[in-house]
Structure 1
Amino acid sequence: MSFKPSTSLLNLHPSLKGVAELLQVQLTRFNCGSMVVGFTSHAADGHSMSNFLVAWGQACRGLEISPIPSHDRAIFLPRDPSSFEFEHEGVEFMSETLRKEYPIVNDINDVVVHKVHFTLEFLGKLKAKASSMNGGNKPYSTFESLVAHLWRAITKARSLNNFETTHVRISVNGRMRLNPGVPNEYFGNLVLWAFPSTKVKDLLLEPLPYVAKLIHDAITKVNNNYFKSFIDFANCKVEAENLIPTADMNKSVLCPNLEVDSWLRFPFYDLDFGGGCPYIFMPSYFPTEGMMFLLPSSFIGDGSIDAFIPLFPDNLASFNQICYSD
């Protein structure tokens, strides 16, 4: 089978649409003896689902599940009195009357899901360049450096208006950010978003460290205070004011914006049903223009990263010309 993004991947997992079940699994066995495990879920965040898969493998091998999942929802109780320190309407929630119509991709072939491989050597140089102007502070992470680079490269390939505003939606795990901290074995959804934003002209004309700092600062702001403000707002305002989640909007085009889902720290390659770890773990074919997935390139842990990037075909050639430029 092809390990590149392809519509054929849609045959290897259950349907994504019109499904009420929290979790679906499809096993596809090949004559050569190999097997694909395809799953779809809307039960929890990526951290929880990766722990679930590892635990499933432990159970299949007759082992005790470790760590035991935690289901304590007390962290979602609002404070007394509640305090809304940050703006959440227009970020995580919005009024039903403000729901917008977004461009729809009618043909799945209107978007190309492009897979890009970044070596450890390239990532090291990128990280050094991104951190070259942060005044001796701790270097930016590989994730922050790579997202800064891809944000610039994709924006340039899109040929956007210089005065247009663009942002990246980045998932932020709250387990280690809340005080007191939430154990890693917490099972559920404990993710909020960071939204680094800037004008296109600044994104392209300023050096890479400028963009890396935008990303780093936006992620840093999603801290304990922000999570607790969100919890208070969700408990006290959403139902009373008939607000709806912005995440429920069914977009197929994100331009001029991006979304990045990082699976770099998830222990997917610890999954073992009894025959060893997976040969490859990858997202399905998900042709939402601008929605990126970042994954470790392989189970050998060589530090390289694969990026799955959906683009319009007209932007692909330009992106390929600049994606390996540091």
Structure 2
Amino acid sequence: MKVKKQISKLVKPNYEGKDLHSTSSNNVPLSIFDTLTFDTHVAIIYAYSPPNPSNSTIEKGLAKALAEYREWAEGGVEELVQVQLTRFTCGSLAVGFTAHHLVADGQATSNFLVAWGRATRGVHLGPLPTHDRTIFRSRDPPQIDFEHRGVEYEPVMKPLAVYADCDPDVIVHKTHYTKEFLMKLKSKASAGAPKPYSTFESLLAHLWRATTKARRLSALETTQVRISVNGRSRLGPGTVSNDYFGNLVLWAFPRSQVKSLVSEPIQYAAKLVHEAIAKVDGDYFRSFIDFANSGAVEKEGLVTTADMTKLVLCPNLEVDSWLRFPFYDLDFGGGCPDLFMPTYSPVEGMLFLVPSFVGDGSIDVYVPLHEKNMTTFKQICYNVD
């Protein structure tokens, strides 16, 4: 395929005559949740069938959206957001988008993308973001009711060697789970539970067991999953709104001995996932805020456990769920995207869950595993017994 690069340029916010300095500072300090998260760019890809607006129209919409989401622009540092528009002779459009995770989490970034589409269409951006990152202050007196050392923070450690039994070749496999399969899986995972587990909890329990079996781990080894938990709803509307722009995520860590995880029925794994997520409630978030503001992190030289240098997570998993984010609502005027997906990310054990473009409740899961383990995973990934 012949590719022609036409133009590369810097897009500045269009404030449409507004006085920026009268409403905000040019410098935005990172919050305790921002500095906790992964220090990396996150990239995604959209694909649209024709008709599509011109590049200049999309650019103007981006400039308007940046005026409300100012943290992305005019920082005088490395590019925090980059956009690539790729057009095909058939009229289709691919949009590549990469953004720095220290600035915003998935909820905030998806809100920005929706606003960009609305600005491009010439309609109101919708609910405007709230920007105050100084709201996460400790209580008086502080109440540190939970242990945060070894969970969100840890001492500086020497880099660990790659897991000894792991092949360096990683394959990313997309697994499609239909709505019918998910309903069957949820019913089986929730058997005997007081209330049905969520689709996410049920599917994650299934994936955790399947990847653990595929990896052929030692029966006495311990495996855990890092699950992102959105704090907006847990802290409540009196503290922060759903439109807060920034990071507001902590993690749940269900863990199990391998022998129990693979020998017990799926209900066992689903219960572990559900209970771990439930523990990361409003009280836990407030305890973290008090701890992060206590000075202990600086005094003890602690660092975040969100480490992007780990290219192999075996025997553990990390799951990024984008199931509740409005990524598919990015409409530039020609309709919603035909495809939305993360870019290629060969970090062994880092799973991405996204709604299928079909829009029928099915889910696509991107599973990176070593080549020698992937064959087994493909054989068992639809087995609910």
State the TM-score, normalizing by the size of structure 2: 0.76
Does the residue aligned with 1:250 lie in a helix, a strand or coil?
A: coil
1:52 aligns with 2:112: yes
Matched, 1:163 2:223: no
Tell me which residue corresponds to 2:152: 92
For structure 1, which runs of at least 5 residues remain unmatched after alignment?
2-9, 14-18
Question: What residue number does 2:121 align with?
Answer: 61
Superposition pairs for residues 212-227 of structure 1, below 5 Å?
Answer: 212-227=270-285
Contact 1:12 1:26 in 2 (8 A): no
Letter in 1 for 2:304: P
8 Å contact from structure 2 (residues 44, 340) kept in 1:
no
Paired-residue identity, %: 64
CA separation in 2, counterparts of 1:132 and 1:102?
40
What is the deviation of 1:73? 2.6
1:64-112 Cα distance to aligned partner (Å, 9 max, x none): 111111113343111112222111111111112x34324299xx98100
Matched, 1:26 2:84: yes
SS of residue matched to 2:186: helix
Report the CA distance shift for 1:229/1:104 in structure 2 as closer, same or farther (over 3 A): same
Q: Which amino acid aligns with 1:241?
A: E
What's the CA shift for 1:248?
3.2
| Partner secondary structure for residue 247 of structure 1 | coil
CA distance in 1: counterparts of 2:139 and 2:79, whole angstroms: 32
Q: Secondary structure at the match of 1:272?
A: coil
The equivalent position to 2:255 in structure 1, one of 176, 197, 200, is 197
Shift of 1:245: 1.1
Partner of 1:318: 376
- Distance change >3 Å, CA 294–CA 104, structure 1 → 2: same
Whether 1:256 and 2:315 are equivalent positions in the alignment is: yes
What amino acid does structure 1 have at the position aligned with 2:349? G
Structure 2's unaligned 5+ residue stretches are 2-42, 47-76
- CA 1:104–1:318: 2 relative to 1, 3 Å: closer
The C-alpha deviation readout for 1:218-245, integer Å capped at 9, x for no partner, is 0000011111111111122212322111
**Structure 1 counterpart of 2:207, which letter?**
L
Is the alpha carbon distance of 1:197 and 1:26 closer, same or farther for their aligned partners in structure 2, counting shifts above 3 Å?
A: same
**Aligned equivalents of 1:143 and 1:20: distance in 2?**
35
Name the structure 2 match of 1:233.
291
Aligned partners of 2:334 and 2:141: how far apart in 1?
Answer: 53
1:150 deviates by 0.5
Partner of 2:196: 139
What is aligned with 2:189? 130
User: What secondary structure is seen at the aligned counterpart in 1 of 2:173?
Assistant: strand
> Which string of whole-angstrom CA distances, capped at 9 and with x for unpartnered residues, describes residues 243-291 of structure 1?
1111134111000000010011111111111111111000000000000
**RMSD over aligned Cα atoms:** 2.1
C-alpha contact 2:205 2:266 (8 A) present in aligned 1: yes
Partner of 1:307: 365
Question: What SS does the corresponding residue of 2:154 show, helix, strand or coil?
Answer: strand
1:102–1:67 Cα change, 3 Å: farther
SS of residue in 2 equivalent to 1:248: coil
Aligned counterparts of 1:221 and 1:181: Cα–Cα separation in 2: 19
**How many Å separate the matches in 2 of 1:308 and 1:239?**
37
What is the aligned partner in structure 2 of residue 7 from structure 1?
none
CA contact (8 A) 2:44 2:96 kept: no
Q: Check whether the contact 1:104–1:251 (CA below 8 A) recurs between aligned residues.
A: no
> Are the aligned partners of 1:168 and 1:259 in contact in 2 as well (CA < 8 Å)?
yes
Q: Compared with structure 1, are the counterparts of its residues 151 and 87 closer, same or farther at alpha carbon in structure 2 (3 Å cutoff)?
A: same
Could you tell me which amino acid in structure 2 is paired with residue 69 of structure 1? P
User: What is the CA distance between 1:144 and its match in structure 2?
Assistant: 0.3
Which deviates the most, 187-196 or 234-243?
234-243
Out of 120, 127, 142, the position equivalent to 1:82 is 142
Q: Contact 1:44/1:187 (CA < 8 Å) preserved in 2?
A: yes
Of the three residues 302, 311, 332, the one matched with 1:243 is 302
Listed one character per residue, the Cα deviations across residues 172-192 of structure 1 (whole Å, up to 9, x for unaligned) are 001111144521111110010
Determine the C-alpha separation between the residues in 2 that align with 1:185 and 1:204. Answer: 40
Residues 318 and 272 (structure 1 numbering): CA distance in 2 closer, same or farther, change over 3 Å? same
Normalised by the size of structure 1, how large is the TM-score?
0.89
